[in-house]
């Protein structure tokens, strides 16, 4: 869940209160990610971090990878890590590399 929250913040998704529990933060993913809310009671395109599927869906992860590419610079070895994991076509390898990129990018700001 913490990694999904990290990604949501990296992507700049607006926060709002969860429909079921107003003490819980949900995120509006807008048109960035095409997803349905079949498993929760929030409005369309609003997801609680527990319901986000960045670790299991390329549809969710690819927009994040695109933003990582935009955020990287020519001296950024961390983007190279993502780039090379994409060659494996395995989300279980790519997802942790994306998380590491975001964490390292966040530290350098």
Domain with 6 in it:
2-108
pTM, entire model: 0.86
Into how many domains does the chain fold? Answer: 1
Instruction: Give 24-73 pLDDT, tens digit per residue.
Output: 788 999 889 877 777 666 677 888 888 899 999 999 999 999 999 988 87
Distance (Å) of CA 30 to CA 4, 7, 10, 35: 16, 14, 14, 9
Instruction: Give 62-102 pLDDT, tens digit per residue.
Output: 999 999 998 887 666 788 889 999 999 999 999 999 999 99
* Residue 108 Ramachandran class (φ > 0 left, ψ -120 to 50 alpha, else beta): alpha
Distance CA 28, CA 13 (A): 6
Of residues 72, 16, 79, 78, the one with CA closest to residue 48: 16
């Amino acid at each position: 869940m913490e990694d999904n929250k990290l990604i949501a913040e990296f992507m700049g998704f607006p926060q709002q209160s969860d429909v079921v529990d107003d003490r819980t933060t949900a995120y509006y993913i807008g048109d960035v990610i095409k997803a349905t809310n079949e498993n929760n009671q929030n409005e369309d395109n609003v997801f609680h971090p527990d319901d986000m599927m960045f670790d299991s869906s390329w549809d969710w992860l690819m927009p994040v990878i695109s933003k990582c590419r935009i955020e990287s610079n020519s001296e950024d070895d961390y983007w190279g890590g993502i780039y090379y994991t994409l060659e494996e076509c395995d989300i279980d390898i790519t997802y942790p590399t994306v998380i590491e990129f975001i964490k390292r990018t966040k530290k350098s700001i």
